[in-house]
A = this chain, B = another copy of it.
């Protein structure tokens, strides 16, 4: 199977597949005489697993550690349970801060529709966007400690 078919079967772009190879998520595949990558059907499983694991919040680095351990025939169960629980905690924290941000943003958006544009004069700020004094102090440390979310947007 060539890279294109593998991509079609798994829903992963060929660019991404080559990238996974580069960072060690996928092993370097055989090449046919013309230099094309050729994959066996087990790679479909592996790639699908990578996708599943990503959807549960694991990073490609973590996924690689799991796959490497399994490849060496070691048990990964404790390791994986640890990762999952860690991600659950992170997810909880993240949702909470996002919800806080949302309620602040709602107040700001509402207030902004009531402001008079002619009051907006400072060239270094916009009156709509200002800290909410009616809200408790923004916990910046919490807001800033959010784990990264990457954009796979098209």
Q: Which residues of A contact B (CB under 8 A)?
A: 11, 42-43, 45-46, 48-49, 52-53, 55-58, 66-67, 70-71, 73, 75-77, 80-81, 84-85, 87-88, 91-92, 94-95, 98-99, 101-102, 104-106, 108-109, 112-113, 115, 117, 120, 122-126, 128-131, 138, 140, 143-154
Contact = CB atoms under 8 A, between A and B. Distances in A.
A95 B92 contact: no
Q: Is the interface of A mostly helix, strand, loop or mixed?
A: helix
B52 A122 contact: no
A90 to B, nearest CB: 10
A154 to B, nearest CB: 7
A88 B101 CA distance: 10
Contacts of A84: 105, 108-109, 112, 128
